[in-house]
Chains A and B, each alone.
Chain A
Amino acid sequence: DTAVSQTPKYLVTQMGNDKSIKCEQNLGHDTMYWYKQDSKKFLKIMFSYNNKELIINETVPNRFSPKSPDKAHLNLHINSLELGDSAVYFCASSSRVAAFFGQGTRLTVV
């Protein structure tokens, strides 16, 4: 009974393609996030949504567009993928305390 689940787990794609990662949480949390973890393991916040509304948008290229159809889902769409986008992307959710993470999506752009 996974609390925060994201798909796919692995994604290999060519430069220039457009891809999406989906995330769903069944914890009833109001807030969801996307984090990027690079090869040095640094966790950097990209977006934060509260009750379907964007509240944090860090310095992220506008090729990245999050979409939250409801408060249990936060998807990430990436246009015109670049080599530097290769990373592990984590979805997370929280209810004003600790964040709980999905299993991650390892994106490899070739």
Chain B
Amino acid sequence: GENVEQHPSTLSVQEGDSAVIKCTYSDSASNYFPWYKQELGKRPQLIIDIRSNVGEKKDQRIAVTLNKTAKHFSLHITETQPEDSAVYFCAASKRGFNKFYFGSGTKLNVKP
């Protein structure tokens, strides 16, 4: 089965700096990679996703990149703000296979 590894487990940045979270996956058939943000006590919420036919996707201050050859993908947050503080999860799936494999999460702390 798929194995998704996520690093780092914790990340502390100063407000305004950039944050990068990295994930690797093992199954080359995986072709869909969503990212979730989970604030304390709340549900994971989808913030951005990327499909395997795209190398990069951007939405305002967040961007994801995908390297299919190396089987890794990353989340980039620029100009971080205190409200970006949360746990972020990457995930990998094969479309139509009804199963998402999650990374172990990264706790991001943005210091004001």
Interface on A for B, CB 8 Å cutoff? 31, 33, 40-45, 48, 50, 55-56, 90, 94, 96-104
Contacts A41-B105, A42-B105 given: A100-B99 contact, CB under 8 Å? no
Please name all residues of chain B whose beta carbon is closer than 8 Å to the beta carbon of A40 when the two chains form the complex: 104
The prevalent SS among residues of B at the interface is strand
Q: Does B61 contact A (CB under 8 A)?
A: no
> Once the chains bind, are A48 and B99 in contact (CB under 8 Å)?
yes
The prevalent SS among residues of A at the interface is strand
Q: Which of B33-62 contact A (CB under 8 A)?
A: 34, 36, 38, 42-46, 49
Q: Does B25 contact A (CB under 8 A)?
A: no
For A50, the closest partner residue in chain B by CB is: B98
Interface on B for A, CB 8 Å cutoff? 32, 34, 36, 38, 42-46, 49, 87, 89, 91, 95-96, 98-102, 104-105, 107
Beyond A45-B101, A48-B99, A94-B98, 14 additional pairs, beta carbon < 8 A: A41-B105, A41-B107, A42-B104, A44-B102, A45-B100, A45-B102, A48-B98, A56-B98, A97-B32, A97-B49, A98-B34, A98-B46, A101-B36, A103-B43
Please name all residues of chain B whose beta carbon is closer than 8 Å to the beta carbon of A55 when the two chains form the complex: 98
For A99, the closest partner residue in chain B by CB is: B100
Please name all residues of chain A whose beta carbon is closer than 8 Å to the beta carbon of B87 when the two chains form the complex: 41
> Once the chains bind, are B98 and A103 in contact (CB under 8 Å)?
no
Task: Please measure, in the bound complex, the distance between the C-alpha atom of A101 and the C-alpha atom of B100, giving whole angstroms.
Answer: 12
Please name all residues of chain B whose beta carbon is closer than 8 Å to the beta carbon of A94 when the two chains form the complex: 98, 100
> Once the chains bind, are A56 and B46 in contact (CB under 8 Å)?
no
